[in-house]
Homo-oligomer: A and B are copies of this chain.
Amino acid sequence: MTSTATAPRRSPARRRVLDTALALFYAEGIHAVGIDRIIAEAGVAKATFYHHFPSKDDLVCAYLEEQIARVREQAVPQGETPEERIVSVFEGVGEVTCAPGFRGCAFINAAAEYPDPDHPVRRVVADFRRWFKGLLEELLVAAGHPEPQRTAVALMTLRDGLTVAGALDDPAEARPAVRAAVAHLIRPAA
C-alpha cells in the first residue's frame, strides 16, 4: 500500500491506450469504436487494458477528462485586460474549429451518445461546461461587466454554436460573426 493501490496511473501501456482512445473516439464516435480496435491500435493486450480500465465506460470518462486537461492547458487566456483574455479564449476556439480534423466539441458529441444525465460520462461533460462557464464569468466580473452571469451564458451559447458550425458548415464562415458578437457582448452598449 506504499506506492500503488491497484492501478498505476503512470504507465506507457495506459498512456498508449488513452492516446489511441482520444484519437478514435473523437474521430469516429464512441459507440462506433470497440475495445478490440483500441487495444489493437495501441498495441496492448486485452488483460492489460482491463487492468487499467475496469470497463469501457471508465475509458470513456478518462478520455473526456483527458480532453478537459488538453483544453485547459491549450486555452490559457492571454492578454492584459480581462476583455482581451476573453477575446483570446474565443480566438483559441475559433482556431481549433478551423483546424483540419475538427469534428465538433468532444463533450457535445459524447453527450449525444449518452442520454442519461446521471451517467458518469455526462457528469464529466457537465464538469467541463461548469468550468468553462465559470472561467468566462470570472473574466467578466474582473472586467467589471454589469451582467456577468447572463453574459457568460450568452458567450457559452456562442461557443457552442461556433463549434457546431465548425463541424457542420463552413468553418471559416461562423468565425467573424462570432467574433463580432463577442466584441459586442463584452463591451455593453453605453
- Residues of A with Cβ closer than 8 Å to B? 27-29, 31-32, 103-104, 107-109, 111-115, 125-126, 129, 150-151, 153-154, 156-162, 164-165, 167-169, 173-174, 176-178, 180-181, 184-185, 189
Contact = CB atoms under 8 A, between A and B. Distances in A.
Most chain B CB inside 10 Å of its own CB: which residue of A109, A126, A157, A178: A157
Contacts of A157: 157-158, 161-162, 164-165, 174, 177-178, 181
27 contacts: A28-B115, A29-B115, A32-B113, A103-B115, A108-B108, A108-B112, A112-B113, A113-B113, A125-B168, A151-B177, A153-B165, A153-B177, A154-B174, A154-B178, A156-B165, A156-B169, A157-B157, A157-B158, A157-B161, A157-B162, A157-B178, A157-B181, A158-B158, A160-B160, A160-B165, A161-B164, A181-B185
